[in-house]
Amino acid sequence: MLSHKRRSSHITALRTMMETTRGRGLPLPPNLSRLYGAFRLPTPRLGLHVFSNFVSTLDGVVSLQVKGHSGGGDISGFSGQDRMVMGLLRAAADAVIVGSGTLAADPDHLWTPQAICPELGEDFRRLSDAMAKPRAALNVIVSAGGTVNLRLPVFASRKVPAMIITTARGAKQLQRHRVPDAVQIQVIQRGSGEIPAADILRAVGRAIAGKRVLVEGGPRLLGTFYKARLIDEQFLSLAPQLSGRERGDSRMSLVMGKTFAPRDPLWGQLIDVRQGSRLLFLRYSFGK
């Protein structure tokens, strides 16, 4: 969930408390290296490396689900450091996957590092050049029903390559409108209902040259990936605030719509910790 629209102009460096040795170091330009420290990310020989990123309160809420306050900014306190980390992960990714609910929560957004952290836009551009990435990450919108506005910037601006993954029923809905030439439509051959995470990854894998895929949610979409054991790493920014819940409210946690413990517990391993001015930046490995 996004909506980090109140932006602070000054971003301070994170303090590295625990650092992973997994993967190859990315060629961060000096300013990003100063702000984040060393950044390693695996590149698998086979398959895709799938990672997710969210910001959460101490009591596990990632979205307040209140109009005007449903995005990550209200959770992070509009942290510039959190936006910096989000931008870094997007810069490293070859595709960013979000659900139609996340798109609806921030309809004017593009899933690029510059869109979330424009003050570091030149640094992210230098990182992309150093990684020999010719264009922005593929923006993938998952919508089973095909009920998305094709006039939104992610589809109509031509600033990012875009793909809609939908069902046969959703494709019929999309065909009622003019689909921009630059937008790919991938139909999972199912009449309707939830699109399996494995099918999403197969479609994305065919469309990108690289192997790194970032899942930015929402929580229901992320739940399908965790249920299929398809998340390799979870980046979690922990904000020192309590949200609280009332009986029956709609506030969302990191994973929704799927359950694990006690019958099917899913444990991760803490591999990296960075301390921010207010937030704690955690990284967990979920080995397949």
Residue 170's pLDDT is: 94
Residue 49 lies inside a defined structural domain of this protein? yes
Residue 4's pLDDT is: 55
Residue 249 lies inside a defined structural domain of this protein? no
Residue 6 lies inside a defined structural domain of this protein? no
- C-alpha–C-alpha distance, residues 174 and 176, integer Å: 5
Q: Which tens digits make up the pLDDT trace of 119-159?
A: 999 999 999 999 998 789 999 999 999 999 999 999 999 99
251 with 61: CB under 8 angstroms? yes
Alpha helices in the chain (DSSP H): 30-36, 72-76, 80-92, 100-105, 113-116, 121-130, 153-156, 168-174, 197-207, 219-227
Helix (H, G, I), strand (E, B), or coil: what is residue 94?
Answer: coil
Residue 219's pLDDT is: 96
Mean pLDDT for 195-223 is: 96
Q: How confident is the model at residue 171 (pLDDT cuts 50, 70, 90)?
A: very high
Alpha helices in 6-107 (DSSP H): 30-36, 72-76, 80-92, 100-105
Residue 273 lies inside a defined structural domain of this protein? yes
- Judged by average pLDDT, the poorest of 106-110, 131-135, 142-146, 172-176 is 131-135
Residue 247 lies inside a defined structural domain of this protein? no
Q: What is the CATH number of the domain that holds 168?
A: 3.40.430.10
Q: Which tens digits make up the pLDDT trace of 271-283?
A: 999 999 999 999 9
Mean pLDDT for 167-195 is: 89
Q: How confident is the model at residue 45 (pLDDT cuts 50, 70, 90)?
A: confident
Residue 288's pLDDT is: 62
Residue 129 token pair = 């050049």
Mean pLDDT for 244-248 is: 88
Residue 257 token pair = 């719509």
Residue 248 lies inside a defined structural domain of this protein? no
Question: Which domain range does residue 137 map to?
Answer: 15-242+268-285
Residue 225 lies inside a defined structural domain of this protein? yes
Q: How many domains does the chain have?
A: 1
- The percent of residues above 70 in pLDDT, for the chain, comes to 95
